[in-house]
Amino acid sequence: MRGHGIVELTGEGWTLRGTDATGDAGDIEVPAVVPGCAHTDLMRAGVIPDPYLGTNEAQAQWVGLADWEYSRHFDVAARPDGSRVHLAFDGLQTIATVLVNGTEVGNTRNMHRRYRFDVTDAVRPGTNEVTVRFASSARAMLAAAGDDPLPYDWSYPYNELRTMACEGGWDWGPTLVTAGIWRNVRLEVWDTARADVDVTTTLDEDLRRGTLVVGLAVEGGPCEAEVAVAGHTERFTIDSTGRRQLTVDVPEPEPWWPRGYGAPTQYDATVRLLDEGGKVLQETHHRVGFRHIAIDTTPDEHGRAFTLRVNGRPVFCKGANWIPDDLFVSRITPARYETRVDQACAANMNTLRVWGGGIYEDEAFYAACDARGVLIWQDFMFACAAYPEEEPLRSEVVAEADDVVRRLAAHPSVVVWNGANENLLGHEDWGWRTQIRDRTWGEGYYRELLPAAVEAHAPGAVYVVNSPAASEPGVHPQVPGDGPSHLWDTWNLLDYAHYRDQIPRFAAEFGWQAPATRATLTEALGTLPDRPDDPALLAHQKQPGGERHLVDRLKARFPDPAAIATDTDRWHLATSLNQAHALRTAVEHFRSWWPRTAGALIWQLNDVWPALSWSLIDHGGRPKPAWYAVRGAFADRLVTLQPREAGLSAVLVNDTDEPWTGELVLRRVHVADGEVACTEREFTVPARSVRTLPVGPTITQAGRRREELVVADTAGADRAVHVFVRDDGVRWPAPDVKHTVEHKEDRVLVHLTTGVAVGDLIVEAPGMRADTALLTLLPGESGTVVLRPEHEGTPLPNNEDVSLHTRNGFFAT
């Protein structure tokens, strides 16, 4: 935006003071940086240790119970007569009183909103002071809930305050309630007129007529608005203060397409305010795209479809749930957003779901998704709790919904808005009714208030009442065959083979835990403890019973889980492999049932801190083995071996616009002796289709069931492998893999050869990242893994620096 006189107030120059005279913060005064928060400033000053490291989280709890004050000085030049001055905050966390030169100019109680205060009468030419006093959110939440709280999870009743729910703890993150100016702040000087500007687009179903819709909340005037987009420019007369909507027709725009379906075409849109003489008063720039979005819920023999259609085309949503990439959200940079989105794309994902217990992310996140064609399912920030619908919360929800939808509506990637995460489910299945009694609990938000905001400000998007939810009111939110589903019984109770028990219409959440990579855990703990039940390691496992689940889920997959559970090295590898196989099993199963199943969003892509969690990418930005498994399972062309009524079958999934023709080689292979039987099948799979081919008795009638594998290979797809017995019953031979290292300019090629079959082969070296993992090599086969440095300047490894890990090591005697 330009056209105003802007004084940026971000960066250094701030001071953080503790204002809780009776508590631990009373004598603290340290330099502060904005955007930031109390924890990051106290860490920088050495007042508290990093709560992400070791068991330090417990030592930082007092910070969230204290009151804090941010202040700084700024200079203002003499301004023209009649001009106005606004103090604009893009994010305050959370209960704040704002003062300028000692005069109170505003109050806030919502982390998720932007704020603008008229400070014309409070500022003066020369040096001024701005002060932001934060009351403890932790104390305020507890006070608001009282002795009879509405249902919520974790440490603090976040349902009583519009703040980031997961700062109060979650089953993958620490409890670190904080306070601070967490997004940019600036002083704006203007005259004649100014406006809050938001834009969105629509595209007719025939893809021939687009519309740019500009919302203006104008102060001052009269003035003119000039709107330019895609070679079209129109002027509008603005004769009074208030909100108005302007539309510009854009005939025949190039549509914005998701990844794999076409180009994510975007256009520059510029909105200018002009005075009567044509002088530019304000100018905003936006990147927009034109797309038509719908969700098909047509009844069929299985229930109701739940299929996203983009520009009329049905899309299988391949992706993951997104949580804040850091619990101290001011630390998430545009570069970090781009890296994470690129990692999702590299895993062949086309969809990310922004989960409802975090934040509405920064513009940089949505811009990265826009440019890459990544679809966004955007939750409103309501999760796993009952929310009161009365004041003072209701007014905050109204203002938040209006502000957030207007802010994000410009982004073509934001295609689905969701009312809440698991709140309808909680009301029906988690015993809430008794605790709620006759009180409101949020349903009015999800069925009335929030969809109205989407309809008003983002007419090109669709709205879903909750996840999970059925298509019709009065139907249980988790009914089979209808709406988005959350599949948690498998991880919590069962072996991962039970993912195949269900054929959901859209799997919006399912997941399997594993620890962060060894490198990330070592950074967090200093050294890896000998046993996985060490207190320092368990401090980073936040699911109640999660450590027990990790070991219990090894049953039927690895021999002697109890012994594995006493050795951190073996435990780390086994649980990491288990997560990889569990998620591969789930994703391949769901994809094999397209179009009946139309989406698979894994819980979760990323982490808020170094954790034992469900993430694919740990907090250090390092992919876990499961990331590699998911990359293959989400590939555009997939071969998977699945149980079917006709027996073991090869299912070929073609998620491209071209027919897939090739030859499928099916083999039965002995783990030491090599090939036992082989058949070859020519196939054609039409575009965006699935074809199932029975494997046949030549391959499935094993002679030595515990020592033989079924292997399916074809050009252009990853190898598929099936075993005849439970995983813990396979007689894998002792690994016999030899490797040599070849140095290139910026990478290392690790050449591998094996005399016997090896499963889940992983190549590691300190400071390096592999291009592939989880290889299955058959007797006599060879392969190459490329290692690249994580950081510039990391020395390339030699032969002795490379370590190999395989599944075989758990089985061979």
Give the pairing type, strands 462-464 and 414-418: parallel
Report which of 788, 757, 756, 758 is spatially closest to residue 772, judged by C-alpha positions: 788
**Is 229 a member of any domain?**
yes
Same domain, 397 and 476: yes
Same domain, 283 and 258: yes
pLDDT recorded at residue 812: 72
pLDDT recorded at residue 648: 97
DSSP label at 366?
A: H
pLDDT recorded at residue 177: 98
98/69 Cα distance (integer angstroms): 10
> Would you state the structure tokens that stand for residue 565, as one six-digit string?
């559970």
Residue 472 has pLDDT above 70, yes or no: yes
Domain count, the chain: 5
pLDDT recorded at residue 4: 59
Same domain, 505 and 523: yes
| Helix/strand/coil for 754 | strand
**Is 301 a member of any domain?**
no
Is residue 497 packed enough to be buried (19+ CB in 10 Å), middle (13-18) or exposed (0-12)?
middle
Across 322-332, average pLDDT = 98
Query: 162-177: per-residue pLDDT in tens?
Result: 999 999 999 999 999 9
Same domain, 224 and 344: no
Domain range spanning residue 45? 5-188
Residue 197 has pLDDT above 50, yes or no: yes
Cα distances (angstroms) measured from residue 218 to each of 241, 242, 249, 435, 668 = 5, 5, 22, 45, 72
Q: Are 626 and 604 in contact (CB under 8 A)?
A: no
End position of a domain, from candidates 133, 153, 188: 188
Same domain, 603 and 565: yes
Query: 226-285: per-residue pLDDT in tens?
Result: 999 999 999 999 988 899 999 999 999 999 999 999 999 999 999 999 998 999 999 999
Query: Can the peptide bond before residue 253 be classed as cis, meaning omega within 30 degrees of 0?
Result: no
**Is 62 a member of any domain?**
yes
pLDDT recorded at residue 2: 47
734/810 Cα distance (integer angstroms): 9
Cα-Cα end-to-end distance for the chain? 68
Same domain, 586 and 666: no
**Is 543 a member of any domain?**
yes
Same domain, 184 and 202: no
Same domain, 517 and 623: yes
**Is 748 a member of any domain?**
yes
Same domain, 456 and 376: yes
End position of a domain, from candidates 707, 729, 751: 729
Residue 1 has pLDDT above 60, yes or no: no
Across 142-147, average pLDDT = 96
Across 95-121, average pLDDT = 98
Residue 405 has pLDDT above 50, yes or no: yes
> Residue 12 — very low, low, confident or very high, per pLDDT cuts 50/70/90?
very high
Across 201-216, average pLDDT = 96
pLDDT recorded at residue 287: 97
Report which of 2, 299, 57, 343 is spatially closest to residue 178, judged by C-alpha positions: 57
Query: 36-91: per-residue pLDDT in tens?
Result: 999 999 999 999 999 999 999 999 999 999 999 999 999 998 888 889 999 999 99
End position of a domain, from candidates 170, 188, 206: 188
DSSP label at 692?
A: E
Q: Please report, for the domain that includes residue 27, its CATH number.
A: 2.60.120.260
Across 524-551, average pLDDT = 96
Q: Please report, for the domain that includes residue 336, its CATH number.
A: 3.20.20.80
> Would you state the structure tokens that stand for residue 113, as one six-digit string?
């909103």
Same domain, 583 and 690: no
Q: Please report, for the domain that includes residue 216, its CATH number.
A: 2.60.40.10
Same domain, 414 and 376: yes
Residue indicated by tokens 């039927």: 556
**Is 788 a member of any domain?**
yes
Same domain, 435 and 584: yes
**Is 294 a member of any domain?**
no
**Is 315 a member of any domain?**
no
**Percent of the chain residues topping a pLDDT of 70:** 99
682/665 Cα distance (integer angstroms): 9
- Read off the amino acid at residue 741: V
614/60 Cα distance (integer angstroms): 25
602/618 Cα distance (integer angstroms): 14
What value does the mean pLDDT of the chain take?
96
Report which of 200, 412, 208 is spatially closest to residue 293, judged by C-alpha positions: 412
- Read off the amino acid at residue 55: T
